[in-house]
Structure 1
Amino acid sequence: MKIIDTHIHGLNGLDSRTTDVSHILNITSLLAELGVSEIILSIYPSCIEVMRSNLSVIKQAINIQNEDKMDEIINDTTISNGNIIFPKLKKTKICGVHLEGPFLNPMYCGALNAASFLEPLEHNLMSLIDGYTDIIRIITVAPELNGAVKLIKKITNMGIIVNMGHSNASYSQAEAGFNAGARGITHLFNAMRPFKHREPGLAGFALTNKDIYVEVIADPFHLHQSTIDLIFGVKRTERIIIISDSVKETTLTTFNKSPISVSDKLLGGAMSVTEAAKRLVDIGYPPETVLKCISANPIRFLSNNIH
């Protein structure tokens, strides 16, 4: 079994905003201790030059791992007495990059730097990703922005998965993004227009569309437990992906405290996907269901298969 985190920026003082390849490799070593087999490393929005520098360092790390001839990392995760046991691993493989922006809505920037957001124009996209399409697996786009639907089609036709997020999209705008090729939702309910009964928005579309995948930060800070229960009650389990969204302020030892900024904004997730999975099992979720959300579901999602 492979345990996969499709949305992680870093942890323990390290993240993807670096020019030092050893920082990236150290992130993978820390995650191996937690039983995570593979990751899609997320890059923050910034100016194009900085994002390309981050891409370059991650590509170096991927090349180093490939030169080491890393075999497929199979995790001997087991279920014992109703609990999930995640063994420590020797390595965690970087399977690509998620660009969380810069084609996002400043209204819902969350902890991201809204000043770095760009219009969803093709020349902005190509200036950013040229030379790195082989490692970019996911790009988050706000579908309501002028030109976003066209860009979603362009990205999708390049074989890159589009998530929708950091968005003020209405239900119909979210549907237009999906029809253009978007296949996922970035951290459902966080950094998006609130669900309302007259205008359910992106969150409502995410819950009611049977095919789109949803990321869920399943720590006790980003979502009320009743909201997590709602997601699992309404959404097809096969379309739920538990993510960490962990950041450099996330530590290996303090899973009961979420990283916050000086302005009291949530900076990122409080725990690894393995810790989040154990937490859900501890409060009564079936371990088989939870494991799907960090293994079979992200594998299917990354294959870009909607069936």
Structure 2
Amino acid sequence: MDDRTLVIANGRVCTPFETLDKGMVVVREGRIAFVAPFNRRRLPEGAKVIDASGKIVLPGFVDVHVHGARGYDVMDGTYDAIDRISRFLARTGVTAFLPTTVSAPQERMLASARAVRESTERGVGGARPLGLHMEGPYINPERRGAQNVEHIRPPSIEEVQEVLRACGDRLRMVTLAPEMSGAMALIGFLKERGIIPSMGHTNATFREAMAGFQKGVRHAAHVFNAMRGFHHREPGALGAILIRDDVTVELIADWVHVHPVSIRLLLRLKGSDRVVLITDSIRAAGMPDGTYELGGLEVIVRDGICRLKTGSLAGSTLTLNKAVGNVTKRLGLPLSESVKMATVNPARLLEIDDRKGSLEPGKDADIVVADRDMNISMTIVQGRIAFSS
């Protein structure tokens, strides 16, 4: 048997640019060799064949906003935490992700940055960390959500430079409030270095938000949540986000953070090409109801819903396979559209769509096998089986 060649055969293949009712995905040395209708005569001699009959074969999901899972948090600041999170994510169809911080003292931010660097250099057992997403501490305390107000502070280029050194230049995204003093200078600094400036936890007016976009912001964290909402006389940050065709938005599709009608409106205004499904998961994901910690704050989880004592939502226990299933079933979207929001769109946002986000020749063999309810039976990361039920 050729250990370097793997074939996923007989499943419904969604690339997601095309769908093959009975297709085959051939993998060689960690990359996709070709995708085609199933033909036994085209099976490479000696290849390992995985029968996906009755299943759906998809590109691996990419989650750009993950705080934790299975009792671990990115802010634990250890390689072990990132590795354990990555292994859980693989069980949910995620093959790549951005470990995401919360507002914290600089020492803890640096510890998390070093852990992300170590995890990318050593490798992990599940989904691949693609770099660091800093959510906070440069946000507006008025829209802090579940961020610890004690650690929110003005934007600092010097602090970000320290984080860059600690993570080995693996900082991929910074979520901030553009209306805060010093934010515009930081946005310019990030843009010059190819780091995504993201708007979130913001009380920006329409004019302030538009100024942020003009400076370089091109993405918005968990749309509708922790931001100034829409008013017909002051459209606010939300109005600015919705009207810009060049801005992508994150969506938590758990039916708790955003009402289905709001999601329908979002898709009509932005189109599915500019919506990125995320989980915003915390350490309670994959765990029973109970009391957990996020950024030094107590989080109470009941029926899988995470809240502070104040009642504010505090991240989620959502998994990305469930998010894809939710928008497919509840909203009636075609599977290809739902899958795109968890694969192609985040890959384009991160400018890695030349190697991730779709099942195409030459790209990384990041592949998910699922049933019609989006229960994951197998996850393949760069040609290696990272999870199998």
TM bin, normalised by shorter chain, reads 0.7 to 0.9
Q: Which has the higher strand share?
A: 2
Aligned match for 1:263, one of 300, 310, 318 = 310
User: What is the TM-score normalised by the length of structure 1?
Assistant: 0.87
Matched with 1:302 is 350
* Shift of residue 19, structure 1, vs aligned partner: 3.6
Q: Is the 8 A contact 2:242 2:269 kept in 1?
A: yes
- In the alignment, which of 11, 14, 27 is matched to residue 69 of structure 2? 11
- The one of 33, 42, 51 equivalent to 2:91 is 33
Q: CA deviation at 1:270?
A: 3.0
Q: CA RMSD in A?
A: 1.9
Match of 2:337 among 266, 289, 292: 289
Q: Find the aligned partners of 1:175 and 1:135 in 2 and give their Cα distance.
A: 28
CA–CA distance in 2 between the matches of 1:193 and 1:304? 31
Contact persistence 2:113–2:163 (CA under 8 A)? no
Does structure 1 residue 23 correspond to structure 2 residue 81? yes
CA distance in 1, matches of 2:234, 2:75: 37
Offset at 1:304?
A: 8.4
- How far is 1:294 from its partner? 0.5
2:198 is aligned with 1:171: no
Aligned residues: 282
**What secondary structure sits across from 2:64 in the alignment?**
strand
> Do the aligned partners of 1:256 and 1:270 also contact (CA within 8 Å) in 2?
no
Per-residue deviation, residues 71-120 of structure 1 (Å, max 9, x unmatched) = xxxxxxxxxxxxxxxxxxx7311111100011110000000012211212
- Structure 1 residue 54: Cα displacement: 1.1
Q: 1:251/1:259 Cα in 2 relative to 1: closer, same or farther (>3 Å)?
A: farther
Match of 1:64 among 113, 117, 122: 122
1:189 maps to: 224
Q: Deviations over 1:23-76 (max 9, x none)?
A: 2101111111111111011011101111101111121111111xx8xxxxxxxx
TM-superposed CA distance for 1:121, in Å, is: 3.2
Corresponding letter in the other structure for 1:192: M
Aligned to 1:96: 131
- Range 260-269 or range 42-51, more displaced: 260-269
Per the alignment, in what secondary structure is the counterpart of residue 138 of structure 1? strand
- Contact 2:113–2:166 under 8 Å retained in 1: no
Alpha-carbon distance, 1:251 to partner: 2.3
Task: Give unmatched runs, 5+ long, in structure 2.
Answer: 1-58, 290-301, 354-389
Distance in 2 (alpha carbons) for counterparts of 1:98 and 1:301: 13
2:281 corresponds in structure 1 to: 246
Q: How does 1:213-228 map to 2 (within 5 A)?
A: 213-228=248-263
Q: Determine if the alignment matches structure 1 residue 236 to structure 2 residue 271.
A: yes
